[in-house]
Structure 1
Amino acid sequence: MNYQEATAYIEEIRGRLASDYSLDRVMKLAGLMGHPERKLRIVHIAGTNGKGSVGAYIANALAMSGYSVGRFASPALFDPREQIQRVLGNHFGTDTAWISEEEVAERITQIAQCVRKMEQVGGESPTAFEIETVMAFEQMVRWHTDVAVIEVGMGGSTDATNIIEKPVLTVFTKISRDHTGFLGNTLEEIASNKFGIIKAGCPVVSVRQEQPVMEMLKEICQHRGLKLRVAEPEQIRQKDYTLDKTSFRYRGYPLEIRQLGAYQPENAVIAFEALKLLAQTGFHKVNISSVQTAFRGTRWMGRFELISKDPFLILDGAHNPDGAAALKKSLEIYFPAQRFCYIFGVFRDKEYQKILDEMLPLASNVYTVKAAGERGMDPEELAAVVTEKCGRYERNIPVQSCQTVAQALREIARNGHRHKTVIFGSLSFLHEVYRFFDTSRYI
């Protein structure tokens, strides 16, 4: 296969529905590929929000310490290849490269042969994400990576990445309600699913969770005799937020990050605790200087990202109530006593009512748009929900539906809104926003 044929192969499979959510298919595929996941030292990351940022901090710090790092993160925002990355350090920072088109073609050619073998004996074809997961493991083996930073796609127990048998470290970001149709309706059910990635003999790092979730995690680790290290955001001191950087101290260590957002110090200290534990368990080249340098240089798109200062535009991928609460807190910290013009679109299976409950108190205007794909909620239907919500607040907030983010941005420019614009509800908007600013700049 060439690259175009390989991507067409994956996209054709992406349109199929799996018969169930289990590890059977991906385990069989990995077996036919020689179990590449067993040849890697892996840091496995799960949680509701913050996986991407925490993964970026950890991967960059390991690379700055002299390790060759592979990284698997989803979803892809611009190109499917960005999910599989190689991160290397140098004197000036880190270099991140996506898997090449040639490497994708080679890996998918291999995998397609294995899929045919599965089908020939009556087995079910793996899903696209299962294929991408095995492709990531195989490519990282071929890159001779020292360590792989692997993020769970969704949940934990039945996620394709959970074929990992012996990670060197398991990391949990904040766990909250999301994907309730798949993971359960209660926080405890969701946490139980995510804790399914915990493996025997593998230490665990977690941010301090809500009490019932924290008690569940402590009980699991105690029962299995696992080391548990808890990142404590309450120990963050001397926070100083600007639009260029955030500086703070954590357990006496001075840290500085360029990622904006009130929630980023929490993500950074999760990564910090993970790196401290890795340094004590075999990754001896990790040191505070390389961690500090890596944190200063880490960028992760779509998380309270300042897209433009004139016109002023922030994009945040908040797509669940916890993410919306974090976004609202960030807006209040960076821009106290201000209201904002929102561009909001969301998948219809998300808890959009609760997202709006968090965000509407700071709204001056709302433009509803359609999130990408069939799951994207109709903008007019969403506008009706927003209007009804505004009525409850007894505030006259103008609401207008648009089909695309680009249309909403043009309407905002035409109407001359003076408030800062915030786009949220889905990471699927990022590509459109970048493309808009590259090509039209509000024309």
Structure 2
Amino acid sequence: MPPPATATAPTECIDSRTYESAVHDLNSLQSNYQTLQQIKESGGQLNEYSLPEFEAFIEKTGHTVTDLNRLNVIHITGTKGKGSTCAFVDSVLRQTGKLKVGLYTSPHLIEVRERIRINGEPLSREAFGKYFYQVYDKIRASKPELRKVHEGSPDMPMYFRFLTLMAFHAFLAEGVDVAVVEVGVGGQYDSTNVIRQPVVCGIASLGLDHQAALGATIDQIAWHKAGIIKPRVPVFTVSQPHDALNVIRQRAEKCSAPLQVVTPLPDTQELGIPGIHQRTNAALASALCHTFSQRTGHVISATCIADGLRLAQWPGRSQRFVSPRNPKLTWFVDGAHTIESISACAQWFASLDHPSRCLLLFNPAKGRESKELLATLLEVTGECQWIGAVFCPNVSVSRADSINKNMPEDADLAIQHDAAQVWESLQPSSSAPAAAKHIVPSINRAVELIESKYADAPLHVLVTGSMHLVGGVLDIAKGSI
């Protein structure tokens, strides 16, 4: 098992107290991937320490868990759609024009500061650096024995937990009226679950993901997700697999928390985020905002809800853009990485009008099964004319923010070779030329290959399989989100 994360002195090779130095020091912290591996190897024992440890870190920054109640949190978890639901909620709340709205989500696409937003805007580079070092310095200056939960407790929280701590600190410092908080992984033991009195909770669509940490079955995963339910706090969810919904009901009843299952919004409601599956996420967001209004007294009119849903944006999900370098090339990006989300992504892509040439740029997120993902994608997009596929690891040479803290730090192409073989095996046997396949070592090379080899005629490129891949493509091929 890797040693616990320790606090190291801030880097001396980068100008101190800048956004760049903050990103450098953040990247030096223990990664999410390492933490999930530790939990797996400990048989879940480390889960029991996660929230007590996080509470200790909150105290080291000069706050208390009770202080978080001032944030009026809307807490949202799920497997598919939790990020989009957060985006819808954030957009609706901002339509009132009277609320200062904090939004905490993950992962980021291009710059890490995207994860912490106030009134729709990411923290400025200056603010990110300021709040980062306020938290970092207070933890480093605290006595190691202060609230030491167990002998192996880390001196510094790992990457995601640090950002969660920093988000809470920034929201308190900025005096937000409401904080929309997305769970990282699971719910029960997630660092965001340190929140004891949210205003309302939401559980988006559930499916199989992070099985090593959450369990192999849908009911086990549902138990973790439903861990965000709090005593007598209203909770909303969407249509779920039978076993999952039973678990959610049981946990809600145990907490005396009123539970309601919402139904998708009708086609008459215009949504800013495309995809038929977004009608379910928008319905969940509407219910959360309505209940927030009832419980806090902040007026959110029907017009605010309708406008918020219509104006919502969530880059990297069902997003399309024309290449700024070649008008013949159109990119379609969606960070889908589970069977359920890949199916929804494929339905969105298949519903659009395409030229005679479509190309796939794919990276299977770590631990996901390429065969199932690609088989689902090809089945749903059966009418599309695929001329080839490009496979690459989540490696980008663009910026430090692009370092993927959810995967081991290697650029092993073995996973890409496996995915390419799966792609080849799934191609229909016919007399037509086989769809080409390419394996390249980085996202940069993938974009270069597509632009140089395939963009001489109208081409639609679908980018999916990993949110980190989508972020890299947006950065390299578009230059922004």
**TM-score normalised by structure 2 residue count:** 0.79
Name the counterpart of 1:241.
Answer: none
Q: Alignment length, in residue pairs? A: 415
Name the counterpart of 1:243.
Answer: none
Is the 8 Å Cα contact of residues 304 and 316 (structure 1) preserved in structure 2? yes
Name the counterpart of 2:309.
Answer: 295
Distance change in 2, residues 1:231/1:377 (3 Å): farther
Distance change in 2, residues 1:410/1:45 (3 Å): same
Name the counterpart of 2:23.
Answer: 7
SS in 2 for 1:318: coil
Deviation at 1:186, TM superposition (A): 0.8
For 1:63-84, what per-residue CA distance to the aligned partner results, in whole angstroms no more than 9, with x for missing partners? 2122111111111222221211
Structure 2 counterpart of 1:340, one-letter code: C
Structure 1 counterpart of 2:294, one-letter code: Q
For 1:91-150, what per-residue CA distance to the aligned partner results, in whole angstroms no more than 9, with x for missing partners? xxxx52425524532453344323442524565222222221121112111111111100
1:326-365 correspondence runs (5 A): 326-335=344-353, 340-361=358-379, 362=381, 363-365=386-388
CA distance in 2: counterparts of 1:223 and 1:15, whole angstroms? 34
Deviation at 1:408, TM superposition (A): 2.8
Is the 8 Å Cα contact of residues 115 and 122 (structure 2) preserved in structure 1? no
CA distance in 1: counterparts of 2:136 and 2:233, whole angstroms? 29
Is the 8 Å Cα contact of residues 343 and 367 (structure 1) preserved in structure 2? yes
Name the counterpart of 2:63.
Answer: 34
SS in 2 for 1:217: helix
2:239 to 208, 223, 226: 208
5+ long unaligned stretches in structure 2 = 1-15, 39-45, 396-403
1:403-414 correspondence runs (5 A): 403-413=441-451, 414=453
CA distance in 1: counterparts of 2:53 and 2:100, whole angstroms? 30
Give aligned-pair identity as a percent: 22
Name the counterpart of 1:436.
Answer: 476
Distance change in 2, residues 1:222/1:338 (3 Å): farther
Structure 2 counterpart of 1:271, one-letter code: A
CA distance in 1: counterparts of 2:355 and 2:226, whole angstroms? 39
SS in 2 for 1:306: strand
SS in 2 for 1:13: coil
SS in 2 for 1:281: helix
Name the counterpart of 2:421.
Answer: 387
Is the 8 Å Cα contact of residues 344 and 369 (structure 1) preserved in structure 2? yes
CA distance in 1: counterparts of 2:415 and 2:131, whole angstroms? 44
Deviation at 1:404, TM superposition (A): 2.7
For 1:275-295, what per-residue CA distance to the aligned partner results, in whole angstroms no more than 9, with x for missing partners? 222232224410111111122
**TM-score normalised by structure 1 residue count:** 0.86
CA distance in 1: counterparts of 2:161 and 2:143, whole angstroms? 14
Does residue 1:152 correspond to 2:183, yes or no?
Answer: yes
CA distance in 2: counterparts of 1:24 and 1:103, whole angstroms? 26
SS in 1 for 2:463: strand
5+ long unaligned stretches in structure 1 = 88-94, 238-247, 250-254
Structure 2 counterpart of 1:11, one-letter code: N
Name the counterpart of 1:281.
Answer: 295
Does residue 1:424 correspond to 2:464, yes or no?
Answer: yes
Distance change in 2, residues 1:378/1:8 (3 Å): closer
Structure 2 counterpart of 1:80, one-letter code: V
Is the 8 Å Cα contact of residues 84 and 99 (structure 1) preserved in structure 2? no
SS in 2 for 1:346: coil
Distance change in 2, residues 1:338/1:227 (3 Å): farther
Does residue 1:194 correspond to 2:225, yes or no?
Answer: yes
Distance change in 2, residues 1:327/1:15 (3 Å): closer
